Amino acid sequence: MGGHAQILVTDSLPLADIGQLLEGMNLTISNVQVNCAGRAMGGFAGNSGLNINQGLVLTTGSAMALAGPAGNWASESLGLPGDADLDIDAGTATYDACVLEFDCIPAGDTLLFNFSFGSEEYPEFVGSAFNDIFAIYLSGDGIPYPVNVAQLPDGTPVAINNVNATDNSAYFHDNETPPGPYVAYDGYTTNLTAFAEVVPGGNYHFKVAIADASDGVWDSGVFLQAFSFRSVVNTTQVGETSVPSMGLSRQGNTIYITWPSGQAGQELVIYDAMGRNVKQLHAAGHSASFDASSLPTGAYTVLLRGGGLAPVRFVQE
């Protein structure tokens, strides 16, 4: 156990405690599994500066090291392997993975929980190959392949390259200027909400995974807010605001995207699961298509920039 200022971190939590810390209203959690070093995952409580004052953190190094101030340097190589799913999504080898998995049965037609992502790699490695990767994969009834639900409200995947002082800065906190007193990481996102439409009473599986990319140093962490994992009824988008969606179909390697009339956008942007912009094309009329044959294996998000529509996703196998 260790702490600094008003944040207290406890690592090596028992599985039963992890389930109790996550479970909120209108759902049940079971089959909690953890695959990482004990010191890499921990519970935290107190004023963290994250607008999350209690929760669970998964890191690529030491959970204790995240306690501030920002002048501290959180960087520990555990010498452990990465994660196969993250290897594919990152397009490079990963290291020191910390993975939390569990099953759940929701009572409502949506699943939500609150999270924040922080990293010691801010700001030096924005745009580089050394971007630590994380994902919140969801699969289950109606979701036959894992989908990364760690996204901004417009569907953009959360990653160092996508949320920083330049890109989507409204969702980013610079913890270096001035130096923050609570968390060591040099930058982190605001409190965000993972969201997915589900079948009430269905069976679903979550995998929360984080790993170092390209090397095993410079820690990152994903913070899960205590008791915020929940299910609600008749909510089709975060904030209970109905948002129309695009349509997606596929013929061979050609992806066809359609959207409703009156929902004009400037361009279609395709992101990989690490949040990198891998393709973009002009959006004219109410449909577009593109060849996905050059895309590596993995899950992708398609966003109509400026269209005000929920994104769609596909898997390249």
pTM of the model: 0.77
Average pLDDT over residues 129-152: 86
Residue 51 pLDDT greater than 60, yes or no: yes
pLDDT in tens, 17-49: 898 888 888 888 999 999 998 889 999 988 777
Q: Which pLDDT score, from 0 to 100, does residue 284 have?
A: 74
% of the chain with per-residue pLDDT over 90: 27
pLDDT in tens, 166-224: 989 999 999 988 888 888 899 999 999 988 889 999 999 999 999 988 765 788 999 99
Residue 228 pLDDT greater than 80, yes or no: yes
Q: Which pLDDT score, from 0 to 100, does residue 3 have?
A: 43
Q: Which pLDDT score, from 0 to 100, does residue 46 have?
A: 83
Task: Spell out the domain ranges in the chain.
Answer: 2-232, 247-316
Longest alpha-carbon distance in the chain: 58
- We find that the CATH architecture of domain 247-316 is Sandwich (2.60)
pLDDT in tens, 234-264: 544 444 344 566 788 888 889 988 887 766 6
**C-alpha to C-alpha distance for 15 and 32, rounded to whole angstroms:** 6
More confident residue, 116 or 16: 116
pLDDT in tens, 260-301: 776 666 678 887 766 667 888 887 778 888 999 998 877 788
Omega of the bond prior to 244 within 30 degrees of 0, cis?
Answer: no
